[in-house]
Amino acid sequence: MEGNIAILGYGLSAIGPGVGIGLIFAAYINGVARQPEARGILQPIAILGFALAEALAIFGLALAFVFR
Amino acid sequence: MSAATVGPAMQIPQRDRAVPGGDPSRPDGGPLPESVAWNATSYLLSGLLGLGLPAWTLDRWLGWGWLTPVGLLAGMAAALYLIWFRYGTDRS
Amino acid sequence: MSTVLAAAGEGFTPPGVEDFWQPLVGDGAFALTRPMVLIVISTAVVAGALLLGTRRLSVVPSKGQAVVEAGYSFVRNGIARDMIGEKEMRPYLPLLFSLFTLILVNNLFGIIPVVQYPTMSRVAFPVALTLFVFVLYLAIGVQRKGVAGYIKGLVPSGLPKAIVPLMFFLELLTFFFTRPVTLALRLFGNMFAGHMLLLLMALGAEYLLLDSEGFLRVLSVAPFVMFFVLTGFEILIEFLQAYIFTMLAAFYIAGSLADEH
């Protein structure tokens, strides 16, 4: 087998954010389903949480290129 | 309780337009959260590219070795700030 | 999975990018390739289905009309109305509907037997669609606000003065580079990787069944079952990607239409 171990690192670094983003949007959908009028309050919080979790995955992508 | 009083309460309310940073002039639905989330991803990527790539280039050129992580972190911080400002605060 | 990996050591050649290069006539840069034929077929299929479905319109719809109407109302109510808004969406509905149907049919080609090639797994096709959307949302923004107004409107108002240049740089990069690139690469990547996975499972099952001996032949059941599971999964992805592409196109158009920020 040939390839670059950095790509494997990106794969590993995407696991955590993947689970985290799933949890964030699960909670968001739950909240909006129970209380549709709370959507305006929940959406920014969900987006911010998503951005923070996604930032880690994108760090992984950048580092896979930097430490090639 | 008569059916008339139950009726309106049973209706699923229209999607609330009071999204901070949203457009209050549109009474019908707002941008779906998926699209805003994908847009946030675009911002994060351009934050990393916009500051990380120049920092990496300078690093290769000058041979300092510490500029790339600094550039990546600064780019990510700037992008997160922009996302927070755009979608996370109430500016209406 | 582990069976495939073990087999990889002894002569199993995993599928690669070169499996997606399938010229039918000629070779090199001017070859007539399989996706080129497929996108022509898909255009004919979409146009034919829509013409047939709407030929004799009636209040009580026939089966074909009902399907076309369901698809149209999904794009109209599920995407355009939520994203652009009731007032402004009308001029953009034909574009969004064509984008959705074209991408959906081309994606579904990936699992239809005999055809079995998702056109969007060649990067040029999503790039072409994205260029169209990109030019459109730039043109709308410039038409609405003028060049100076559009450039100024990129930065949200109310930012502290000191970081406006940095944020302007980021917004510029996002609008002119990251957005179109991610829009194209998301569709391409999903279709390419999904089809590659199916290919890997099919080739792995074939290799284990035909080219190995003894107990390993029995193990070929595993990638074979996985092939069917992933095919079902792939149908879901294909619908989802068509939806996401259309939704983001509508979102970008809506962003150019909005008066402020």
Give the bridge partners for C33, in sequence order: C23
**What pLDDT does residue C39 have?**
92
pTM: 0.84
- If you average pLDDT over every residue of chain A, what do you get? 89
Give the bridge partners for C25, in sequence order: C32
- If you average pLDDT over every residue of chain B, what do you get? 72
Which residue among B12, B15, B40 places its CB closest to the CB of A47?
A: B40
Provide mean pLDDT across the span C123-135: 94
Percent of chain A with pLDDT over 70: 99
Contact C156 B86 (CB under 8 A): yes
Provide mean pLDDT across the span C102-127: 91
DSSP E strand boundaries for C120-261: none
Contact indicator for B86, B44 with CB cutoff of 8 Å: no
- Chain B environment of A63 (Cβ under 8 Å): 72
The tokens for C33 are 């390739």
**What pLDDT does residue C261 have?**
46
B15: confidence class by pLDDT, cuts 50, 70, 90 = very low
Give residue-wise pLDDT tens across range C60-71: 778 888 888 899
Contact indicator for C23, C32 with CB cutoff of 8 Å: yes
B76: confidence class by pLDDT, cuts 50, 70, 90 = very high
Residue C214's SS3 state is coil
CB neighbour class for C196 (10 Å; exposed up to 12, middle 13-18, buried from 19): middle
B33 vs C230, which has greater pLDDT? C230
**What pLDDT does residue C212 have?**
79
**What pLDDT does residue B87 have?**
82
Q: C-alpha angle C37/C41/C47, rounded to 5°? A: 150
Give residue-wise pLDDT tens across range C182-192: 999 999 999 99
Contact B76 A58 (CB under 8 A): yes
Å from C174 to nearest chain B CA? 6
DSSP E strand boundaries for chain C: 23-25, 32-33
Max intra-chain CA distance, chain A? 54
Provide mean pLDDT across the span C24-32: 83
* CA-closest candidate to residue C191, choices C127, C101, C98, C123: C123
ipTM: 0.82
**What pLDDT does residue C250 have?**
92
Give residue-wise pLDDT tens across range B35-64: 888 889 999 999 999 999 999 999 889 888
**What pLDDT does residue C56 have?**
79
Taking the C-alpha atoms of residue B90 and residue C112, their distance in angstroms, rounded to an integer, is: 48
B75: confidence class by pLDDT, cuts 50, 70, 90 = very high
**What pLDDT does residue C81 have?**
86
Taking the C-alpha atoms of residue A38 and residue B14, their distance in angstroms, rounded to an integer, is: 12
B60-65: long-range contacts, CB 8 A cutoff, minimum separation 24: none
Residue C25's SS3 state is strand
Contact B18 A40 (CB under 8 A): yes
**What pLDDT does residue B36 have?**
85
Å from C126 to nearest chain B CA? 17
The tokens for C92 are 């953009």
**What pLDDT does residue A53 have?**
92
C180: confidence class by pLDDT, cuts 50, 70, 90 = very high
How many CB atoms within 10 Å of residue C44?
A: 10
- If you average pLDDT over every residue of chain C, what do you get? 87
Contact B87 A48 (CB under 8 A): yes
Give residue-wise pLDDT tens across range C200-220: 999 888 888 888 777 888 888
Give residue-wise pLDDT tens across range A26-47: 999 999 999 888 888 888 888 8
- Chain B environment of C174 (Cβ under 8 Å): 42-43, 46
Terminal CA-CA length for chain A: 17
Distances (CA, A) of B41 to C130, C132, C179, C182, C261: 17, 22, 9, 9, 18
Å from B81 to nearest chain C CA? 9
**What pLDDT does residue B19 have?**
43
C178 vs B19, which has greater pLDDT? C178
